[in-house]
Amino acid sequence: MRRNLRERIPGGCAIIGVMSETGRRFDGTTVIEGIRCMHERSNGLGGGFAAYGIYPDDLKPYYALHVMSQTHHEHETMEEGIRQHFRIIHQEPIPTRRHPRVGEAPILWRYFVAAPTDFAEPPGEEEYMVGRIMDLNGRVEGSLIFSSGRDMGIFKGVGYPEDIGEFFRLDEYRAYLWTSHGRFPTNTPGWWGGAHPFGLLNWSVVHNGEISSYDANRRYLEMFGYRCYMKTDTEVVLYLFDLLNRRHGLPIELTCSVLTAPFWNEIDAMPPADAELWRALRQVYAGALLNGPFSVIVGFEGGMVGLADRIMLRPLVGARAGDLVFIASEEAAIRAVCPSPETVWAAEGGEPIVARLARSAGGSEPASAHKVEVPAAS
């Protein structure tokens, strides 16, 4: 391992999320310009994007496995594994363009796959997918499935995020939800797989800060079959959302409240019924409590949520403009693409900012009631 991988550099990452709650899809230049505004928060050792609603209708039903591999041999080993566990409907290289500021890239490929059989009985298809993906990622050296959702994709690498976005030709995709991350790695190496977002099924997470409770969370998650192999604290956030929301059925808001649970002295001051509920939740989910300075944006099917730690040790700003919801590390990043939002507010520690597709969503009709100055949204 290169020596500089062990250096600790104090710094802050950049995160941003942009979503149309009516499901209006817009190309990647909006989020690229937003993250570009926060260039100083990154150091060129990682940038990435998650995009929801990007794939054509005939491929929407299938899991899009985005894979990066260091060598052809490792690429083929991973493909063999994918073929063994799933039905491959379609496969292709992930389109990229040469970029002067993006160095040598791994082999980047995507497979649209279906589960081999119908899973009518529990634990079900998604459980199967998670199990096989965890297994392949743990088993195949030098290759990584870094995105596995349906009708969504993660695009990431080593470089500044605005350059990585251009490298992956994100101006050619249209999504109703984009998140992005500019990395300033402090405790772990800057490598292609270590860039954010991290993804599992339709979840994606971008993260600024650190999860000081990582080991407690990791041990807790391992009891449920999750494996932490990414050399980063961020992945526990991803698996905790998957566990609490998808597997245990807690709503997104309650999931956030469990992860950033009230302090005991706050619980003591609650009405008795609330206090009893929170004592139970803190006891049951003690291993899921996230400690340390962090702000995250988690993307999921049909929505996104921004969440900062309980005592607000990392910044998070929200804004609304017409059908658009913005969440970012800095207000300037929002104003760079939307100069006059209707409301701008600073997040409170432990209080999630949630954006969701309206029930009737899915259309590509632009919202005519609000004229929002978002250059790339037409």
Partner 1 sequence: MPVEAPRKRQAAANEITIDAEGLHYRDLNELIHQAAAQGARVIDVRNVNGQRYIGAGLRLPVTIRLHGTAGNDLGVFMDGPTIELFGNAQDGAANTMNSGRIIIHGDAGQICGLSMRGGRVYVRGSVGYRSGIHMKGYQDKVPVVVIGGHAGSFLGEYMAGGRIYVLGLDAPAACPLGGGKEPVWRVPERCRSLTGRYTGTGMHGGAIYVRGQVDPALCGREAVISPATDDDLPVIRRDMEDYARCFGLDAGYILSVPFTRLAPKSHRPYGKNYAY
Biggest CA–CA distance in the chain, Å, is 61
Nearer to partner 1, 166 or 331 (CB): 331
- Tell me the C-alpha distance between 81 and 111, whole Å: 12
Nearer to partner 1, 132 or 335 (CB): 335
Nearer to partner 1, 33 or 323 (CB): 33
- Tell me the C-alpha distance between 248 and 157, whole Å: 32
Q: 201: buried, middle or exposed (CB in 10 Å: 19+, 13-18, 0-12)?
A: buried
Nearer to partner 1, 41 or 156 (CB): 41
Binding site for partner 1 (CB under 8 A): 37-38, 40, 269, 311-312, 315, 317, 330-333, 335-336, 339-346, 348-349, 351
Q: 254: buried, middle or exposed (CB in 10 Å: 19+, 13-18, 0-12)?
A: middle
| DSSP-derived 3-state class of residue 255 | helix
Q: 140: buried, middle or exposed (CB in 10 Å: 19+, 13-18, 0-12)?
A: buried
Question: At its nearest, how many Å lie between partner 1 and the CB of residue 29?
Answer: 16
Active-site residue, from 13, 37, 228, 338: 13
338 is catalytic: no
Question: At its nearest, how many Å lie between partner 1 and the CB of residue 262?
Answer: 11
Question: At its nearest, how many Å lie between partner 1 and the CB of residue 334?
Answer: 9
Question: At its nearest, how many Å lie between partner 1 and the CB of residue 339?
Answer: 7
Pairing of strands 87-93, 107-114: antiparallel
Residues belonging to the active site = 13
